[in-house]
Structure 1
Amino acid sequence: MTNRRTSTASFANDLLTLLGLRDGADAAEWGRIRATQLDAARRLVPLHVAVNALGALAAAMLLRGTAPLWQIGVWTLATIAIALGVGARRLLSHHRGDGYASGHDVRRTAWEGVAMALSWAALLVWFGPGLDAGALAGIGIIVAVLMTSAAVTMAPLALATFAYLAGIAAAGIAILASHHLYPAAFGMALFAALLVTICFGRARALVTIRASQIVLAERDETVSLLLREFEESSADWLWETDAARRVVKASPRFAFACGLDPVSINGLPFLQVLAGPSWESGNFAAGLRSLADKLKSRESFRDLRLPIHVNGEERWWELSASPRFDESGAFSGFRGVGSDVTEQRASADKINRMARFDPLTGLPNRLMINETLVRAMAESDKWGGRCGFMMIDLDRFKAVNDTLGHPIGDRLLSRVSERLAQLMSANEMCGRLGGDEFAVVVRNAADITMMERLAREIIETLSRPYEIDQHTLIIGASVGLAVGPRDGRTAEMLIRSADLALYRAKDAGRGVFHAYEPALHVQAEERRVLEMALRQALENGELHLNYQPVVDAGTGNLKGFEALVRWNSPKFGNVSPAKFIPLAEESRLIKPIGEWVLRAACDEAAKWPGHVRVAVNVSPDQLQNANFVNVVASALANSGLSADRLELEVTESVFMHEGLGATKTLERVLDLGVKLSLDDFGTGYSSLGYLSRTRFSSIKIDRSFVQGAAKGVKEAIAIIRAVVALAQSLGMATTAEGVETEAEHKLVQELGCTKVQGYYFGRPLPVDEARALAGRRWDDVRAA
């Protein structure tokens, strides 16, 4: 139903446009078509006037004896005058076939049809009732001839023709009906409808032909413009050859582009002109050989590029051509166009280099590395060989960027790339993946020991000191190896395998290389699944806190608790903190988890007696959050816990992020009244500078020193004594971690530790047990 409505609407629109009652979609094109309609009707004026004049005279002869002569004479003269007037008006029209006319011009012609229809209708209405059957038949024949003639002579102006035919047909039908000649009236109506249909078809054909002519004319004009542009341009030209592939009709532009005289170039072999000095030696470019094959096989070609030497300079041309054939179908040569695309090619090469080379180091970038690896894998698969891929990550590079700034970091990356490039042979290609990550593609990795030896050389070379702007910089490198197709049958899989191996190398302590093992993929998948579960753990309430007592080393009185987060997963059970805390830091989940731990610990500590503190561990990532101080203040305010009862524990790794403002963040936290404790002292970088710059309230001695001292290790005992002395001199307390036996307790007492924490005094307790224990002396609990 919808299609039928659309078709009907389209037909109505076409008819209205053809009649001039509606403007077309393209006003300019329809203006030219309507001018053609008017011009075609003007050309048929003599025939139209002659038919109407002869018809009027013939009708006058038939009317003799049926009406007064003066009436017949008046009608005859009036009819001929109207026909002459219409003809004169059309002949005097200024519209020509190549001009423009409006819809109004076409609509005005309807009055011509109406005037002529009225003159002939007057004949039928005025004289028709008094006519006998014979005269009426004669008049009918004349009218039929007139209507047929109008369908021919007035067809270009369809609106005028429809008005003319409708007027005469209406009068004729009325007269025939008044004589009770109903079949004849019906025949008259059917005849008029047939003529209208024929007229509409002819008018539509005229419009279609004219529209096609306009399109062809525009196309010819476009081609002419293009040809003129080719001739006038300094970079484009036309060329033509005969059947023997010799240059004919050489244009001045073509001769100039070849560096030859326009006269002497005619008759020369086209390939010789293009080959230049290499014609004698036969050392042709591949593009010229392709052109020779096309010319020999008489095939059309487009955008064929080849190098040309003009006056000792290499230029690049782009040629397109088609074969020509004469009237008998015989091959007569080629005709084509040429362009000098030297500059475009240079720009394309520059863009290609920018797209495939790193602007900072000049090494291939990720895109080119991937393309090279794909080709290497295809070659190894073709010949049954192996290729290799290495991923390199710089160790401690971020610290250089944070402390000395990005300009120094960029210069360091440039020096790293220079050292890396010097290690490459024709079998390897190195590039920069981005940031401080580099890669090496080994095209032939049949010798695995060779790859391992190269990995060691890379680590050793990149780990040597760098001298940049009076700074001695020492970084390192970790390398992951993968060999295809063993470790991956596609470039993406091989890169993934090398990335997993690099991850294992960094876990192993950095500064080493590690080859891919299938188990790494399994572990990576486990980590991915575990990470997905951890992301839901906080929302699902799977995390909870345990609290480990911290007691006075001398009296055994409870001083506080350390809040320790635990994860009981429905899928994985109780997950060790040593497993999910590093995962949370890597996946950036430590911030929301750390905030939850801080708020939950403050809420719980607010329910304890006022002398019992709570200690909460804070990761370096949390301190990088500019909103961390507000989080601490909000947790204290919402819980009602006084600031001096909250102790935040940080490790020495926090100060490796000093360039990110960790120290300033800690100072702002201390200004709130919160206590600060340095955890795991002695196991990290152990710089004394930040101890003097940061107001720590206590230092926690790592359990490894406590256990070593209990076994009589002199170095461990000396370290504990040094830390205690240092803490006393700075007014700080010392907490010994990991005390598990009475002997260890007595030892740390003797060494001067002020607080003790460990299984000897209590394991991490659920919240209810910790709440019950709060405020009681430890020796009272033991006695009970």
Structure 2
Amino acid sequence: MLTSDESIASLVRSKQYDSVMRSVPLATAAVVLNSLIVGGMLSGDLPDLWLLCWTVLTVTLGLWNLQQWSVWRRRKRPARVSSSRMHKLTVVGGVWGLLWSALPALLLAHDADGRHQGLLVATITVTLGVGSVCLGGAPRAAYAYVAAMSLGALTGYVASSGALQVLGPLQWLLYAGLIITAVRAVNLNVHARMNAEVRADHQNQLIGLLLRDFEEQGSDLLWEIDASGRLCHVSEQLAVSLGSKAELLNGRSLLAMLGELQTDLREADRESAHTLHQRLTEGQPFRDVMLPMKVGGQQRWWSVTAKPVVDERGTALGWRGVARDVTQARMADRRLAWLAHYDTLTGLTNRAHFRVLLEQALQNCRRLKTAGAVMCLDLDNFKGVNDTLGHPTGDALLIEVGRRLKEAVGKADVVARLGGDEFAVLLRTTGEEVEVSAVAQRILDALREPCMALGSTVPVRTSIGVARFPQDGTSVDEMMQHADLALYDAKANATGTMRYFVQRMGEQVRRRLVLERDLRDALELNQLSLHYQPKVDLATWRIIGFEALLRWQHPQHGNIPPSEFITVAEECGLILSMGAWALQHACAEAATWPEHLQVAVNISPLQVMTEDLPATVEGALRLSGLAPHRLELEITESVFINETRGTVNRLHALRKLGIQIALDDFGTGYSSLAYLRRFPFDTLKIDRAFVRELLISRDARAIVRNILALAKSLRMATVAEGVEEPAQVAVLSAEGCDIVQGYFVARPLPAHEVLPFVRQFRERSRPHMPTGFHLGSTEHATLAGATTLSSVTQPATLA
């Protein structure tokens, strides 16, 4: 930092003191010699005792001055001189002046004949000049010296007689004034020079400190080469950065050393040494020349800036500059460039770069008459994986899928992650159907085996949509859109397969896209509602409850079947919010019914896989006030396909709440008896497919009979769905079915029609068994009030 004014003044005093002390030997010798000469010449004119005392004092003071000079020379000169020391120097100057002023004061007044006037005037004048010059470095001491001598000289002149009395004082004052003016001018000049030197010294120290700090703390490095291109003044920091020692680098050629550091680099990177050589040869300042190198086996990048060093005649002495290690910035730039082209999770090409590569492939197709294909694919139920197993598991799954995709396609082809669970493949070298189909089959085979993701075994299923160029499109947007349409067609009609784009498939897929888009707003716009289908106890022929069924009234497309929009909701991740909404509204509506009526709510497999399902059900019961035993949850067999310990634990947690659990569509899906042993369901629901063929198919009747027997042995209630005819009711009742529901009882009712229907249903009569019909011994029978059924066959029995 900059010094204070007091510090600078102290350094100036030190310079002044040194200036005076350097002149002490010569000045003292001159004064002592002059004193002896004057004493000898004036002997007899002045009292000998007085003259002896004067001479002794003069010589003694001179010797003391020499002693002080000797001390000053021997010891280390102080960097600072205090003001008190300068005050002592002023006193010494005054004492010298008083000693010499005694001669004219006494001698001019007593020298009546004027024998010594000329010698005396010359002596004191010379002494005045010599002393002033010697003390000129310390102006106050010089002023004290001149003032003291002037006091004695003017006293002597005034006491003398003749012309000397008049002219002497005038000459003396003029001479003294000139001396004072000269001393002052010289002092100002010297002070300014000393002040400049002191400030320059401080600036040099500051620059030195800054440079040392710059090299020690900063990332920039100072470097210098001589006229022959050899390193000089190599700092430790520069040597360490180059993986060497300063003494080994001094004198080495900069370009030769750089060539060694670039030995293992690519040819393009080694060109930077040639660029640096050109800049040095041109002799003009340059900035930010990038120099890649390898130091200690690690890739580094330096940005070099320099300017030539010349002397006062313009002769080149070398170069001096700064080298900055920009490795981190360079790596950051490369990272940003990578991020602009690749997916951060999987390392695959991202959507933006994939579009660029596809555009290049289309241009090559037009120019070279080549062909290619685009594949779009996504993972079925990936949303469910994220919701149930967590996003880290979902990310691990995506990474594994990306790895398998890269292994399945050729090295010349491109695999990209477009976002979420959406992937794309660009086949740049082939568009033939046989070859494209082979690649698609390799992808399907690669994803057939379940993936391990953070310790979880996750089944993977994907569908593939393919669009080929040039026949299916000539622009990036066309190709992507058509491949997407093919993908949606595959998912809608044959999930887990590959479909090629054809012009006719667009309408169905577009409808699906419209449904997905509008379904997201259906809840907020109150387009969804619940209808309730009654369930009847066959023993008492009384309504014991209702099944809540979701309905969607679309403002443009009318009533959308559940079989259509439920699938869309599951695939686009809306089934959880829709299921929670249906559960809450069904419980709230059932709470207004008579106490003996239950409500059954269908639960999606995705809901069963979520950890918060028991809390969601408990919250719905608490908000509605519905008793737990009045709620029944229906789940399908597909829940057990991806069964985990958590799945069964959640079902047991639901049972602990006091609610009923029913297994829906029994016999049509997984159909394993093992899960019936692991979890005791309250109810088995016989699928409508068996009920529909109950009167005409021996196999269907056998299956129904065995399901009823199984449920009875496991102490489970049974519900037959899709009952539409009186004969079906009578047969099911005879075989021991507990409950029926279907169009024969009633179609699903809006909420406001439930209670009126319950009151009116009590008056309805139950159907009777058709005459001559036996479940175990007939395929056809005559039904009361129905068409004639005939032909008796062997009974349908189970092994």
TM-score, normalising length from structure 2? 0.56
Question: Aligned letter for 2:633?
Answer: L
Aligned match of 2:347 in 365, 380, 387? 365
CA contact (8 A) 1:609 1:774 kept: no
Aligned match of 1:578 in 550, 554, 563? 563
Task: Say yes or no: does 1:615 pair with 2:600.
Answer: yes
Match of 2:679 in 1: 694
Task: Say yes or no: does 1:225 pair with 2:206.
Answer: no
CA contact (8 A) 2:226 2:318 kept: yes
CA contact (8 A) 1:676 1:696 kept: yes
Question: Aligned letter for 1:288?
Answer: A
Match of 2:291 in 1: 305
Question: Aligned letter for 1:224?
Answer: L
Cα distance, 1:473 vs structure 2: 8.9
Aligned match of 1:654 in 639, 659, 663? 639
SS of the residue corresponding to residue 644 of structure 2 reads helix
**Range 420-429 or range 756-765, more displaced:** 420-429
For residues 284-303 of structure 1, what are the structure 2 equivalents within 5 Å? 285-292=270-277, 294-295=279-280, 298=284, 300-303=286-289
In the alignment, the residues of structure 2 paired with residue 38 and residue 489 of structure 1 have an alpha-carbon distance, to the nearest angstrom, of 84
What per-residue deviation string (whole Å, max 9, x for no partner) do you get for residues 77-131 of structure 1? Answer: xxxxxxxxxxxxxxxxxxxxx99xxxxxxxxxxxxxxxxxxxxxxxxxxxxxxxx
Match of 1:757 in 2: 741
Cα distance, 1:558 vs structure 2: 3.3
What per-residue deviation string (whole Å, max 9, x for no partner) do you get for residues 356-402 of structure 1? Answer: 9999xxx9525x54575255245336545677654555568999999
For residues 390-405 of structure 1, what are the structure 2 equivalents within 5 Å? 390=375, 393=378
What per-residue deviation string (whole Å, max 9, x for no partner) do you get for residues 581-613 of structure 1? Answer: 344445655455444444444454455455443
Aligned match of 1:531 in 510, 519, 527? 519
Cα distance, 1:580 vs structure 2: 3.8
Match of 1:734 in 2: 718
CA contact (8 A) 1:318 1:340 kept: yes
Match of 1:722 in 2: 706
What per-residue deviation string (whole Å, max 9, x for no partner) do you get for residues 704-731 of structure 1? Answer: 222344453x543333233222112212
Q: Evaluate the alpha carbon distance shift between residue 275 and residue 382 of structure 1 in structure 2; reply closer, same or farther with a 3 A threshold.
A: farther
In the alignment, the residues of structure 1 paired with residue 252 and residue 716 of structure 2 have an alpha-carbon distance, to the nearest angstrom, of 102
What per-residue deviation string (whole Å, max 9, x for no partner) do you get for residues 135-179 of structure 1? Answer: xxxxxxxxxxxxxxxxxxxxxxxxxxxxxxxxxxxxxxxxxxxxx
Question: Aligned letter for 2:229?
Answer: V
SS of the residue corresponding to residue 563 of structure 1 reads strand
Counting matched residue pairs gives: 572
SS of the residue corresponding to residue 568 of structure 1 reads strand
What per-residue deviation string (whole Å, max 9, x for no partner) do you get for residues 516-567 of structure 1? Answer: 6766884565245313422413xxx544332222234577543432222333
In the alignment, the residues of structure 2 paired with residue 742 and residue 543 of structure 1 have an alpha-carbon distance, to the nearest angstrom, of 32
Question: Aligned letter for 2:553?
Answer: N
Aligned match of 1:666 in 634, 651, 662? 651
SS of the residue corresponding to residue 411 of structure 2 reads coil
Match of 2:229 in 1: 247
CA contact (8 A) 2:394 2:453 kept: no
CA contact (8 A) 1:377 1:484 kept: no
Task: Say yes or no: does 1:320 pair with 2:304.
Answer: yes
CA contact (8 A) 2:372 2:469 kept: yes
For residues 294-693 of structure 1, what are the structure 2 equivalents within 5 Å? 294-295=279-280, 298=284, 300-307=286-293, 316=300, 318-324=302-308, 326=310, 334-338=319-323, 364-365=346-347, 368-370=349-351, 373=354, 376-377=357-358, 379-380=360-361, 383=364, 390=375, 393=378, 419-430=404-415, 440-444=425-429, 447=432, 450-463=435-448, 476-481=461-466, 502=487, 504-514=489-499, 522-523=510-511, 525-537=513-525, 541-553=526-538, 556-570=541-555, 573-585=558-570, 589-591=574-576, 593-624=578-609, 628-629=613-614, 632=617, 641-656=626-641, 658-659=643-644, 661-693=646-678
CA contact (8 A) 2:552 2:559 kept: yes
Cα distance, 1:616 vs structure 2: 2.3
Q: Evaluate the alpha carbon distance shift between residue 718 and residue 634 of structure 1 in structure 2; reply closer, same or farther with a 3 A threshold.
A: same
In the alignment, the residues of structure 2 paired with residue 590 and residue 278 of structure 1 have an alpha-carbon distance, to the nearest angstrom, of 60
In the alignment, the residues of structure 1 paired with residue 294 and residue 377 of structure 2 have an alpha-carbon distance, to the nearest angstrom, of 44
What per-residue deviation string (whole Å, max 9, x for no partner) do you get for residues 259-300 of structure 1? Answer: 8998999696x6455435999xx9773333443554566561
Q: Evaluate the alpha carbon distance shift between residue 524 and residue 219 of structure 1 in structure 2; reply closer, same or farther with a 3 A threshold.
A: farther
Which structure would you say has the larger Rg?
A: 2
CA contact (8 A) 1:505 1:514 kept: yes
C-alpha RMSD over aligned residues: 5.9
CA contact (8 A) 1:303 1:319 kept: yes
TM-score, normalising length from structure 1? 0.56
SS of the residue corresponding to residue 661 of structure 1 reads helix
What per-residue deviation string (whole Å, max 9, x for no partner) do you get for residues 240-274 of structure 1? Answer: 364xxx51454556899598998999696x64554
In the alignment, the residues of structure 1 paired with residue 461 and residue 313 of structure 2 have an alpha-carbon distance, to the nearest angstrom, of 79
Match of 1:780 in 2: 764
Cα distance, 1:427 vs structure 2: 0.5
CA contact (8 A) 1:324 1:333 kept: yes
For residues 66-77 of structure 1, what are the structure 2 equivalents within 5 Å? none
In the alignment, the residues of structure 1 paired with residue 455 and residue 611 of structure 2 have an alpha-carbon distance, to the nearest angstrom, of 33
**Percent identity for Structure 1 against Structure 2:** 33
Q: Evaluate the alpha carbon distance shift between residue 718 and residue 219 of structure 1 in structure 2; reply closer, same or farther with a 3 A threshold.
A: farther
Cα distance, 1:459 vs structure 2: 0.8
CA contact (8 A) 1:556 1:779 kept: no
Q: Which runs of 5+ in 2 are unaligned?
A: 13-78, 81-195, 768-799
Cα distance, 1:463 vs structure 2: 1.9
Q: Evaluate the alpha carbon distance shift between residue 356 and residue 776 of structure 1 in structure 2; reply closer, same or farther with a 3 A threshold.
A: same
CA contact (8 A) 2:489 2:509 kept: no
Cα distance, 1:460 vs structure 2: 1.7
Question: Aligned letter for 2:288?
Answer: R
In the alignment, the residues of structure 1 paired with residue 615 and residue 250 of structure 2 have an alpha-carbon distance, to the nearest angstrom, of 85
Cα distance, 1:424 vs structure 2: 3.7
**Range 691-700 or range 590-599, more displaced:** 590-599
